[in-house]
Amino acid sequence: MKSERVVMLADCQSFYASVEKADHPQHKDRPLIVAGDPERRSGIVLAACPLAKRYGVTTAETLGTALPKCPDLVVMRPRMERYISVSMQITNIMKQFTDLVEPYSIDEQHLDVTGSLSLFGEPETLALTIQQKIRRETGIYSRFGISYNKAVSKMACDNFAKKNANGLYTLPREAVSKVLWPLPIRQMFMVGSRMERHLLRMGIRTIGELANLPLARLRQRWGVNGEVLWRLANGIDDSPVDPNSHQGEKSIGHEMTLPRDYYSLEETAVPLLELTELVCRRCREKGYMGGVVSVGCRGADFDHPTGFYRQMKLPDPTNVTKQVYDGVMRLFRRHWDGQSVRKVGVTLTGLVRDDEYQLTLFDERPRYQALERATDEIKRRYGESAIFRAVSLTGAGQARDRAGKIGGHYR
């Protein structure tokens, strides 16, 4: 008889803040947060240590509201390169115990340890061993949800392991109905605030009520997504822990939150050009061209959202900035309602390899690609700030500021 899988979800507590405390032991016993530049819109709390949380400081709130809660608060600027490095170090520690490690986010990893138990002991013993090794080598405290698949181990970690003194919690298959089903529906994996509102309007308040709803009703309302919700509520998840799950991209895109409201087409066109250049450069680095371009924008009031998200097929697949930007601006002019813009995004999908494609009459791609690969090489050798488009030096440009950042955050 085939044995039950043993899958873990490891989560690093207050990851960014924990890295900063490990690197700055003088702040060990002080409330600490990681936040962006207070002078810009990115001045929000990205992570808060447990001491800071006791004062009521929460992630995603502004520095302006966090500081009055705790005058002694230590504010650290984010260092994304450092966080990525520590995350990779933690993943490599886990690989010493199983070759089936799948990063879920920068601070979470799935582990399938089914084949490792004969070497390292019972699941909780193994989890404790990995937890202690991570703490010893990185200074980071991690929590482990242990179950029979990825979805249930994630819910075991989020709802129980994080509250336990030892940071461990095991949720076997036979305990799902007793332990998970009584929880409020918002505590189910994949249920955000919007989905919670939909489910509450249907009279579904707990995970168990969703699990016992007729599947046909959910499929009628949400199609395949309804079945996904039903399966998660019933603890069903057949997906393997796949170390290669994030290889092979289906889209390449970038978003940018602007430091202020942009009101004119001329202003907004500048960050759209910068984003297009970033997307095309990433395509060239990875050897792709895109056949479909998508553009999105939003206003500053996320409670009453304005803006759009639209896409169009390009005449031919390309990774040339000028050709993609022509499509970006056609979409933006066609769908922008003239209201203020605070967030913009550009994405290429329909990716194909760039080393084999159909040439067209008067094809300009090879000439432009040669030029842009030259500028790519300059940036690779001398840094992102070595060469800019002239419009990026205007008041609307963001490329110079973002050159020293990763994902919009400081390195």
> Residue 391: what pLDDT?
64
Q: Are residues 402 and 272 part of one domain? A: yes
| Higher pLDDT, residue 86 or 81 | 86
Per-residue pLDDT band at 146 (split at 50, 70, 90): very high
Express as a percent the part of the chain with pLDDT over 70: 83
- In this prediction, residues 32-41 reach a mean pLDDT of 70
What rounded mean pLDDT belongs to the chain? 86
More confident residue, 231 or 43: 231
Binding residues for Mg(2+): 11, 107
What domain count does the chain have? 3
What integer is the mean pLDDT of 376-384? 67
Instruction: Quote the pLDDT of residue 18.
Output: 96
**Residue 244: band (very low, low, confident or very high) from pLDDT cuts 50, 70, 90:** confident
Q: Tell me the mean pLDDT in the region 298-311.
A: 77
Residue 258: the pLDDT is 86
* pLDDT at position 61: 85
Lowest-confidence segment of 16-30, 131-145, 293-307 by average pLDDT? 293-307
Average pLDDT over residues 182-211: 93
pLDDT for the residue 41? 41
Do 278 and 221 share a structural domain?
Answer: no
Choosing from 142, 168, 194, the residue where a domain stops is 168
Residue 170: strand, helix, or coil: strand
Report which of residues 400 and 87 the model is more confident about: 87
- pLDDT on residue 364: 64
- Are 158 and 200 found together in one domain? no
CATH number where 256 lies: 3.30.1490.100
Least confident of 78-92, 290-304, 311-325, 386-400: 386-400
pLDDT band at 59 (very low <50, low <70, confident <90, very high): confident
Whether residue 70 has pLDDT greater than 70 = yes
Q: What percent of the chain has a predicted confidence (pLDDT) above 90?
A: 57
Mean pLDDT of 227-236: 95
Task: Read off the pLDDT of residues 150-168 as tens digits, 9 standing for 90 and up.
Answer: 999 999 999 999 999 999 9
Looking at the structure, tell me whether residues 61 and 35 fall in a common domain: yes
| Catalytically annotated residues | 108
Residue 14 sits in the same domain as residue 119: yes
pLDDT band at 396 (very low <50, low <70, confident <90, very high): low
Task: Name which of 265-274, 300-309, 318-327, 393-402 the model is least confident about.
Answer: 393-402
In this prediction, residue 150 carries a pLDDT of 96
Shared domain for 308 and 402, answered yes or no, is yes
Question: Is the domain of 226 the same as that of 336?
Answer: no
**Is residue 338 in some structural domain?**
yes
DSSP result, 122-165 = SHHHHHHHHHHHHHHHH---EEEEEESSHHHHHHHHHHTGGGST
Feature table: binding site: 11, 107
- Residue 178 burial class via C-beta count within 10 angstroms: exposed 0-12, middle 13-18, buried 19 and up: exposed
Instruction: Give domain status of residue 104, yes or no.
Output: yes
pLDDT for the residue numbered 1 = 45
Q: Are residues 146 and 18 in the same domain?
A: yes
Q: Examine residue 219 and state whether it is found in any structural domain, yes or no.
A: yes
Domain that holds residue 290: 251-410
Alpha carbon distances (Å) from 105 to 15, 22, 85, 119, 236: 11, 20, 13, 28, 22
Residues 216 and 269 grouped into a single domain:
no
Cα–Cα distance list, 349 to 31, 247, 286, 324 (Å): 43, 15, 13, 12
Judgement on whether residues 186 and 280 belong to the same structural domain of the protein: no
Domain boundary at 189, 205, 233, which?
Answer: 233
Considering 277-286, 327-336, 396-405, the range whose residues carry the highest mean pLDDT is: 327-336
CA gap 283, 352 in Å, rounded: 10
Q: Do 37 and 119 lie in a common domain? A: yes
- Report d(CA 250, CA 349) in Å as an integer: 6
- Average pLDDT (305-311) is 84
Per-residue pLDDT band for 43 (boundaries 50, 70, 90) equals confident
- CATH code: domain of residue 152: 3.30.70.270
